[in-house]
Chains A and B, each alone.
Chain A
């Protein structure tokens, strides 16, 4: 690819390969700053709260959750869908990089993939605990057993388990294989024996041979190609969990594409939040430039338009169907009834606020980027809340209508997943280069 003056530079300043190595690996070689310890403390406390909540769920039972006969899916599934959505961005960035050859993603995909891995782990915890007896979770896997039973291949819930397991495995594979050359760099720079042995073990004897590189690049391209349809399928299948039911508000063909766009949208928002924090904490503004943030903001801007359109279409189809239950769910329960506050927060944060990114100044101001990215994630949480609870709490029979309130155990599990996410991300940035050093070196001359 030829560097062009009309393309923006991927790396600011004329940096040599040695400088790039030094600047990007320095955070891993220094003692962590105070904010890292504060973050780890907060994460550990959240984890402890989550541990207590999980203990209560397992020992006392799911009666400790706020679920009722009508609202049988509550915070657990809301948060499951929310985390899975966030987990879509990492692999999406890798696909941008490997399949669509968007080289600017080289500075972002390592951290975005880490975010994906931890987000999917957090997501998987909710259905696992919702099983009630998580130690029997392996029953869902198709294996020859003494009960002489096989799983129901027709069930979307089984598809979901397979989709998420495959996605988690694929995300870890893409993440790990992407970092092998950088682990080798860490190994060769390690100053003590333990670090050298550990990085040496995980870098698998990587020696920088071009014959190996050739196979390595082919492998990552194949994995990127395989991951592309997988990313689309995962949230599609999560959407099918809802769409195959007959509940008003769920029984809609728009749900799969709508969920997928929502997932990419919320994932990119979370990447933006994390990238702004990392850029500030690690002083890597030459590698994650204002243009990188601008590019993510542009994706959010268009994602927001699609999401807004999906909201409008849902309401239109409910009215156009002439089905009174559908009309009630959308026009009464969601827009003007018990759930109207959550509904309008969702519409405002997801479909209206990101439109500010039509203004260049908003895309170039770190504060506006940061605040909007947080608001989008709140808005996307409300979207899942609205979809789940409004349809379940007020369905066909007014006699079965109920109110839904989460308990402290529900809240504890959600907070606990933040603990997993925060601790996981902090350990990642402590021991692994946050930016793919070898990829930045390879593409630093190219623009985008």
Chain B
């Protein structure tokens, strides 16, 4: 399927085009650009649920590390250090704190890789190399009124409108 690709160099014009397309319920695929702003993101996508995943990872990490330390210090090798209690919670707090940050970071980063589908060596699929420089590309999906959409985009100040297949 070919997509309509509209290129903008002015962020303000892109935002106004996005507003218009959204108001007319046009089927958007994605917007590509050199940077993201809050205005663009809230029009193109919804809020990520990654923070909820991180909280769950954090809870898992706390339970896992506490269980690990309890097993090693109390069950597997209960060694008395200078007569101190075998199970002593206060010194565990620091290790739990640090390992929770470590595990949560690792799991959150892995989640990002899985969800955003980016990994070292992934082949490039962006519509234009200028996207990482100064160009925004608005990619439009299948709609019943492509000609009308092109007209709207032209009115919004698109610098270039082409048709291209974007996977």
Is A153 an interface position by the 8 A CB rule? yes
Contact of B50 among A17, A173, A200, A218 (CB under 8 A): A218
Taking a contact as CB atoms under 8 Å apart, the answer to whether B131 and A207 are in contact is yes
List CB contacts (< 8 Å) of B95-124 with chain A.
Answer: 95, 97-99, 101-102, 104-105, 108-109, 112, 115-116, 118-124
Bound complex: CA A187 to CA B126 (Å): 12
Q: Knowing A150-B72, A153-B69, A207-B125, say if A237 contacts B104 (CB, 8 Å).
A: no
Taking a contact as CB atoms under 8 Å apart, the answer to whether B126 and A211 are in contact is no
Is B16 an interface position by the 8 A CB rule? no
Taking a contact as CB atoms under 8 Å apart, the answer to whether B34 and A219 are in contact is no
Minimum CB–CB distance from B99 to chain A (whole Å) comes to 7
Q: How many A-B residue pairs have CB under 8 A?
A: 175
Contact of B101 among A201, A204, A210, A226 (CB under 8 A): A226
Bound complex: CA A165 to CA B125 (Å): 36
Contact of B105 among A17, A173, A213 (CB under 8 A): A173
Taking a contact as CB atoms under 8 Å apart, the answer to whether A153 and B101 are in contact is no
Taking a contact as CB atoms under 8 Å apart, the answer to whether B120 and A202 are in contact is yes
B86-99 CB mask vs A (1 if < 8 Å, else 0) is 00100110110111
Minimum CB–CB distance from A16 to chain B (whole Å) comes to 7
Minimum CB–CB distance from B41 to chain A (whole Å) comes to 5
Taking a contact as CB atoms under 8 Å apart, the answer to whether B50 and A219 are in contact is yes
Taking a contact as CB atoms under 8 Å apart, the answer to whether A17 and B31 are in contact is no
Taking a contact as CB atoms under 8 Å apart, the answer to whether A230 and B101 are in contact is yes
Taking a contact as CB atoms under 8 Å apart, the answer to whether B32 and A210 are in contact is yes
In the complex formed, the residue of A with least CB distance to B85 is: A154
Minimum CB–CB distance from A107 to chain B (whole Å) comes to 14
Is B132 an interface position by the 8 A CB rule? yes
Contacts of B119 in A (CB 8 A): 204-205
Bound complex: CA A149 to CA B84 (Å): 18
Contacts of B91 in A (CB 8 A): 153-154, 159
B residues near A (Cβ < 8 Å) are 9, 30-37, 40-41, 44-45, 47-48, 50-51, 54, 68-69, 72-73, 76-77, 79, 81, 84, 88, 91-92, 94-95, 97-99, 101-102, 104-105, 108-109, 112, 115-116, 118-126, 129-134
Cβ contacts A to B, 23 pairs, < 8 Å = A18-B133, A149-B77, A150-B77, A159-B95, A166-B98, A170-B105, A185-B34, A200-B124, A205-B118, A205-B122, A205-B125, A206-B132, A207-B131, A208-B126, A210-B41, A210-B44, A211-B45, A219-B109, A229-B101, A230-B98, A230-B101, A441-B35, A442-B37
A residues near B (Cβ < 8 Å) are 16-18, 21, 142, 148-150, 152-154, 158-159, 162-163, 165-166, 169-170, 173, 177, 180-181, 184-185, 187-189, 200-202, 204-219, 222-223, 226, 229-230, 233, 237, 438-439, 441-442
